[in-house]
Amino acid sequence: MPGNFHEWWKKFVSQDQRTLVRLVVVGLAGVLLLAFGSFGIPRPSPPAAKPAAAPAPSTPLERQEQEIAQQVAHILQKIPGVSQVSVAITLTRSIQSQYVDSSGGGTGTEPVVVSTNNGQTVVPFDQIGPSVGGVVVVTPSAVRPFIRAELSQAVQTLLQVQPYQVLVLPN
């Protein structure tokens, strides 16, 4: 075997010098591309395989977002064919309570406490729910269009939001 290669190489060098030059030039070009290919715009590395733990919510609005997202995810997982649902919700306003003011109207922001025979009670007027800005649902089941449509419609119904406020993605 070594003798055959040696003979072939001598024949190749002596008869096909033009092909040998091309081969050397292409080889050098490849080496140069490998050596200098890392220059230019830096590319971000792919995310780590293990997701980082979500930071604890610091504001009441963030706590409400997490609570509502967990409730919605729990409901969506009950839809047949849906599994491993992650939900993120953005609220533009948290739950607000309105109280009866001293004149009897409903514009008070501080509760009016009324003393009765059973003790003191707060006179509530109304409670305004949170305002949802947008919802993102991520699940492997969303690769099927029918499931994606069901998830979107379920979120719209649960949170009383418009279709443009809901995004359902496969992961």
Average pLDDT for the chain? 79
Helix (H, G, I), strand (E, B), or coil: what is residue 8?
Answer: helix
134-157 mean pLDDT: 92
Kindly indicate the confidence band of residue 62, based on its pLDDT and cuts at 50, 70 and 90: confident
Question: For residue 151, what pLDDT is reported?
Answer: 93
**Selected residue with higher pLDDT from 42 and 21:** 21
Question: For residue 162, what pLDDT is reported?
Answer: 92
**Selected residue with higher pLDDT from 17 and 81:** 81
Distances (CA, A) of 136 to 10, 168, 169: 68, 6, 8
114-119 mean pLDDT: 70
Question: For residue 104, what pLDDT is reported?
Answer: 55
Question: For residue 8, what pLDDT is reported?
Answer: 77
Strands annotated E in the chain = 86-93, 96-99, 113-116, 119-122, 124-128, 131-138, 166-169
Query: Among 122, 106, 125, which Cα is nearest to 114's?
Result: 122
pLDDT digits (tens, 9 = 90+) for 69-80: 999 999 999 999
DSSP 61: H
